[in-house]
Structure 1
């Protein structure tokens, strides 16, 4: 899965950054009646704003337009968009609610801060798990979390979705959720290892996974039901956010059981071989 995702990123020339990271202009319009998106798209072609993304925002009367171009005169952009739609709609039916611009430098700064936020989260996780458990548990958890993030990132590349600050928030949510699942499994493993008797560590880890499996599946299943509802009925604005959670929670449940725990078995067998 990771290789497929990374292959997609390589073929497409990198992630598709949204206005938050790449810079650009955001325009919110309000119509008296629900407009036809394709009619708006045709109207915008006449003013040369470049590639644009048009979506409903909240109600069907509110439209959000994102263009990959930064404009210094924000009022002029709003006026240009409004005039470009004059031939398609009655000018009195259109209200420019807001116009926001993110310059390339600001976008670059936001991109760096987003990466740092994920890095700081990972460092905090390593410190916490090393303190609560042992170093090998921290390494196992980080490997599982990196797996979750890379697979979700790959899914965004495959489905050509924009990478924005909202998606960074989704990634941090995925990291927290997956880590919680992993810690539950680790806690049971630690308890069972204290009274393992003649059983091997691999057997005790397998037993621990079986003991926590129903809890893991029920928790993830109920969470996924909510996320699926958000994905289908939450509207266009949170569609990508819920998509990231949908992929991340599913993959996170898998990695807690089949990656983090398996790494502990590998670590033990490696240490045994060097004794």
Structure 2
């Protein structure tokens, strides 16, 4: 039987250390919000010839110096540029694209997506609302299905997952777009599912192991569900990592899923269950 509860202080310290670093970067540097939130334009140019990214960047510097992000995609065959919402007008963008086509004869504008700043602001508020509603619904369900202490522990674990994921994005300044919100909601659902499996086993073992301590019941329950948790996470990660490697166009979704699923597996074992033990022991002390 694994001694998970006995390592609570160590695991909490590790998580707290990671969260503090992430929140420090979040407070000082903030998130690298994409145009879905800030507004702007994304241009995809099919180059159809060999080119140097620096040569294309020189053209864009004439129009939007320090107001854009650029990268090569599709193994360096295409060029993508993200321009801040207040940097260029539609006519200026058209002029810039025309100059790129003039210098690179085989190039053509593959796509252009524009988002207004007001739309981005509305998206941010709706994203926060979606997260709040999801957490409240889970709190109510788990509280009704199990008990309120289980629900509290689960929500703390979910908060842990979200904070660490946000911290990683803040530290490495990974762009955050609308797909990130979808990924966070998916992470929450996946993590809570893993946590509920352990909580359900704890509830069953409470009936079977009436003479055992809370620590023993929790350790036994985690030990029994550990293979299931690891196997589920491993098979899921194999798929998502494959998608991340071979389908670059949806890395905005697959990357946060990889981070969140790993963190969610960790929190369901080392955070949620020990938090429940702490709450259970406090409740016993209060009633004695």
TM, length-normalised to structure 1: 0.91
- The aligned residue for residue 273 of structure 2 is 261
- The aligned residue for residue 6 of structure 1 is 23
- The aligned residue for residue 163 of structure 2 is 150
1:238-257 to 2 correspondence within 5 Å?
A: 238-257=250-269
Q: Is the alpha carbon distance of 1:239 and 1:167 closer, same or farther for their aligned partners in structure 2, counting shifts above 3 Å?
A: same
CA drift at 1:242: 2.1
Secondary structure, aligned partner of 1:66: strand
- The aligned residue for residue 15 of structure 2 is none
Structure 1 residues without counterparts, runs of 5 or longer: none
Q: Is the alpha carbon distance of 1:114 and 1:58 closer, same or farther for their aligned partners in structure 2, counting shifts above 3 Å?
A: farther
| CA deviation vs aligned residue, 1:219-269 (integer Å, no higher than 9, x gap) | 11121222222333321x323322211211111000000111001110111
| CA deviation vs aligned residue, 1:136-167 (integer Å, no higher than 9, x gap) | 11111110001000000000011111111011
Greater length-normalized contact order (CA 8 Å, ≥ 6 residues apart): 2
- The aligned residue for residue 37 of structure 1 is 53
Counterpart-to-counterpart distance in 1, 2:159 and 2:92: 41
| CA deviation vs aligned residue, 1:42-61 (integer Å, no higher than 9, x gap) | 22111226422223455754
Secondary structure, aligned partner of 2:169: helix
- The aligned residue for residue 135 of structure 2 is 122
- The aligned residue for residue 237 of structure 2 is 224
- Does the CA-based 8 Å contact 1:114-1:168 persist in structure 2? yes
Q: Is the alpha carbon distance of 1:89 and 1:83 closer, same or farther for their aligned partners in structure 2, counting shifts above 3 Å?
A: same
CA drift at 1:3: 0.5
Total equivalences in the alignment: 270
- Does the CA-based 8 Å contact 1:49-1:69 persist in structure 2? no
Structure 2 residues without counterparts, runs of 5 or longer: 1-17
* Correspondent of 1:82 among 69, 90, 97: 97
**1:20 equivalenced with 2:30 (yes/no):** no
- The aligned residue for residue 184 of structure 1 is 197
TM, length-normalised to structure 2: 0.87
Q: Is the alpha carbon distance of 1:201 and 1:252 closer, same or farther for their aligned partners in structure 2, counting shifts above 3 Å?
A: same
Counterpart-to-counterpart distance in 2, 1:158 and 1:32: 35
CA drift at 1:96: 2.1
CA drift at 1:17: 0.8
Secondary structure, aligned partner of 1:26: strand
Secondary structure, aligned partner of 1:238: helix
